[in-house]
Amino acid sequence: MDIDKKDVLIRMLTTPNPYALKFVLNLPLKNKGRATFHSKVDCSNLPLFHSLFDIPGIKQVFVFQNQMTLTHDGSLSEEEIEKQVTAVVGSRITVHNPDFTSFDEEKVSVSSTEKRKKEISPEILKVEQILDRTVRPGLQADGGDLEVLSVEKDEIRISYQGACGGCPSAMMGTLEAIENILRQETGQENLKVIPI
């Protein structure tokens, strides 16, 4: 991709998580799927994300389409983080490949990914479809997401991603809303959603 850094537009948005900032670009960061990085080691072959961990206090980078959410420890002001992220993106976007495969994706071969899609339980598929229609758009708009890990009887285990990870509202109000939606949609009054 032939990009001039002066053509890059980046906008910072706050999220409900006081320790997460969402950045939206006019260019793709990841064309397929999503990725989460917790350290430089996780993204050593991706200069853009690798360099973001040089910003003091950055703890996690979550990437989805043309958005990334940075979780930080609060040691820098939002303005300083925005300034440094803009500098990193401006200097690294010209060598960035949005068709990258993350470390987690590399551990799972394409054939086993396709096999998993075919073997996904009807229960998980039903929950995923409900979440896609009701909850996910709001979570993604706030720089987060969730993954359904398991569905067993009246218990659904999920993993929060991006801004949702460690967010106080994700553990209380959002979790309660997810439970209520799933109870209503599935007809299971005793359904419990457990974040892992």
pLDDT at residue 107 above 70? no
H or E stretch covering 60: strand 58-65
**120-195 in CATH: which number?**
3.30.300.130
The pLDDT score that the predictor gives to residue 113 is 40
pLDDT of residue 171: 79
Contact between 63 and 30 under an 8 Å Cβ cutoff? The reply is yes
State pLDDT tens for residues 26-80. Answer: 999 999 988 999 999 999 999 999 999 999 999 999 999 999 999 999 999 999 9
Place 103 in a pLDDT band, splitting at 50, 70 and 90.
Answer: low
**Which residues are CB-neighbours of 177 under 8 A, at least 6 positions away?**
135
pLDDT number for residue 21:
96
For domain 5-107, give the fold.
Answer: Ribosomal Protein S8; Chain: A, domain 1 (3.30.1370)
Taking the C-alpha atoms of 41, 43, 48 and 52 in order, what is their torsion angle to the nearest 10 degrees?
A: -50
Record the tokens describing residue 160, joined without a space: 């929060």
Domain edges within the chain = 5-107, 120-195
**Higher pLDDT, residue 149 or 118:** 149
pLDDT of residue 96 exceeding 50: yes
> Could you count the other beta carbons within 10 Å of the beta carbon of residue 195?
17
